[in-house]
Homo-oligomer: A and B are copies of this chain.
Amino acid sequence: MRICVIGAGNGGQALAGVLAQRGHEVMLFNRSAKRISGITDSRTIRIEGESSGPARLAYVGTDIERATKDSQIIMIVVPAFAHASVAERMAPYIKEGQIIILNPGRTGGALEFKKVLDSRGAKPGYVIAEAQTFLFASRIAGPGLVRIFRMKNAVPVSALPAKDNHILSEVLPDVFPEFVIAPNVLYTSFNNIGAVFHPAALLMNAGWIETTHGNFQFYLDGISPSVARVLTKIDEERCEIARALKIDPLGAVEWLDFAYDVKGRDLYEAIHNNDGYQGIRAPVSLYNRYILEDVPMSLVPISYFGKSLGLNTTTIDSIINIANVVMGVDHWKKGRNLDSLGLSGLSVDAIWEYVERGVKPS
């Protein structure tokens, strides 16, 4: 199968390599030539760790038309804050039957992507979907060299609207049996645990990160009892919003059990029982996707959903406001909102009608 991978960062190169290893014809696109200069000619990625070995791609370059044209699946592997601009660039070339998957969508990724594609005149008949998280933990280790630490077992994914999920069910098992179908994009968008863990844990360790360049274990040292209490409150606010949207959310403690098979009486204990967090160091600075991506593309839209439902978002909002001051950016303006997701003014039932069947009230 011809598969396009958009974005040649840590995730995109790993995904392109693994897909090629599995026998697919892989077209790897990156916006800037610089990041792919070491592999543009050789078109070869070596993988270390899980799934190790070399992989030869069919195309590596900066021509988005060429990369996407005859690809059956287009895997978007860019930070969520770049989704809208990628959609704008891709819109003219999308063809009927192509499957676009955001890896991951964060909160509202597929909703935003579809709105941009349609407003830019993309031809109908494509399938848009979002994954709840990325398939691997991976890092670029050198030019053409990618290290995959861990491949996840079960990554939920859903199409928008969910009536297209049967198409994913037909195609994805041949590509990534790791994908499991979620009921609709509200599930993938609201079971966004990064939004719960990352920004608050970063901001409540701001001095430690900046003064020591992240010289501590991010989860095991950084998430102390007080930090865990704030994460728990953020998680409660998120779950309450999710329930008001009539979806059954996975709480952070349940998620740790699901993803890592660890248990605990509370979030602090569950995190500290997770051997999978051993050795994961803090980022070296706050200018990191844990804020740059997780605040505007996750916490902000979750908060806007909450406000539209009249729910309490005090703790989420406080973290967003502190992040605004730290980054010198108004994430309330820069982030996703109900309008950019195409849901302005819709009732919960109307939102469901849209995410399930693609129909909005006239």
Residues of chain A at the chain B interface (Cβ within 8 Å): 201, 203-211, 216, 221-227, 229-230, 233, 286, 314-315, 317-319, 321-322, 325-326, 328
24 contacts between A and B (CB under 8 A): A204-B205, A204-B206, A204-B207, A205-B206, A205-B208, A206-B224, A206-B227, A207-B216, A207-B221, A207-B226, A208-B208, A210-B224, A210-B227, A211-B222, A211-B224, A226-B286, A226-B326, A230-B322, A233-B325, A314-B321, A318-B318, A318-B319, A318-B322, A319-B322
Complex-state Cα separation, A216 to B233, whole angstroms: 28
When distances are taken between beta carbons in the complex, the residues of chain B under 8 Å from A325 are: 229-230, 233, 315
Q: Flag if A207 contacts B223 (CB, 8 Å).
A: yes
Complex-state Cα separation, A221 to B216, whole angstroms: 15
Which residue of B has the minimal Cβ distance to A286? B226
The interface centre, meaning the residue of A201, A223, A315, A322 with most chain B CB atoms within 10 A of its CB, is A322
Q: Flag if A207 contacts B222 (CB, 8 Å).
A: yes
When distances are taken between beta carbons in the complex, the residues of chain B under 8 Å from A225 are: 210
Q: Flag if A207 contacts B233 (CB, 8 Å).
A: no
Complex-state Cα separation, A233 to B315, whole angstroms: 19
Nearest Cβ on chain B to A295's Cβ, whole angstroms? 13
Complex-state Cα separation, A206 to B227, whole angstroms: 7
Copies in the complex: 2
Q: Flag if B318 contacts A229 (CB, 8 Å).
A: no
When distances are taken between beta carbons in the complex, the residues of chain B under 8 Å from A319 are: 318, 322
Complex-state Cα separation, A317 to B206, whole angstroms: 19
When distances are taken between beta carbons in the complex, the residues of chain B under 8 Å from A326 are: 226, 229-230
Nearest Cβ on chain B to A314's Cβ, whole angstroms? 5
Complex-state Cα separation, A210 to B208, whole angstroms: 12
When distances are taken between beta carbons in the complex, the residues of chain B under 8 Å from A205 are: 204-208
When distances are taken between beta carbons in the complex, the residues of chain B under 8 Å from A328 are: 229
Complex-state Cα separation, A230 to B206, whole angstroms: 11
Nearest Cβ on chain B to A346's Cβ, whole angstroms? 28
Shortest 4 CB-CB contacts between residues of A and residues of B:
A210-B224, A318-B318, A208-B208, A205-B207
Q: Flag if A226 contacts B210 (CB, 8 Å).
A: yes
When distances are taken between beta carbons in the complex, the residues of chain B under 8 Å from A221 are: 207, 211
Nearest Cβ on chain B to A311's Cβ, whole angstroms? 15
Which residue of B has the minimal Cβ distance to A231? B325
When distances are taken between beta carbons in the complex, the residues of chain B under 8 Å from A208 are: 205, 207-208, 216
Q: Flag if B204 contacts A227 (CB, 8 Å).
A: no
When distances are taken between beta carbons in the complex, the residues of chain B under 8 Å from A314 are: 321
Given contacts A207-B221, A207-B227, A211-B222, 17 further A-B contacts (CB under 8 A): A203-B204, A204-B322, A205-B205, A205-B206, A206-B227, A207-B216, A207-B222, A207-B224, A209-B224, A210-B227, A211-B221, A229-B326, A230-B322, A230-B325, A230-B326, A315-B321, A318-B321
Complex-state Cα separation, A160 to B286, whole angstroms: 45
Complex-state Cα separation, A39 to B316, whole angstroms: 49
Partner of A317, one of B201, B229, B318: B318
When distances are taken between beta carbons in the complex, the residues of chain B under 8 Å from A207 are: 201, 204-205, 208, 216, 221-224, 226-227
Complex-state Cα separation, A209 to B314, whole angstroms: 24
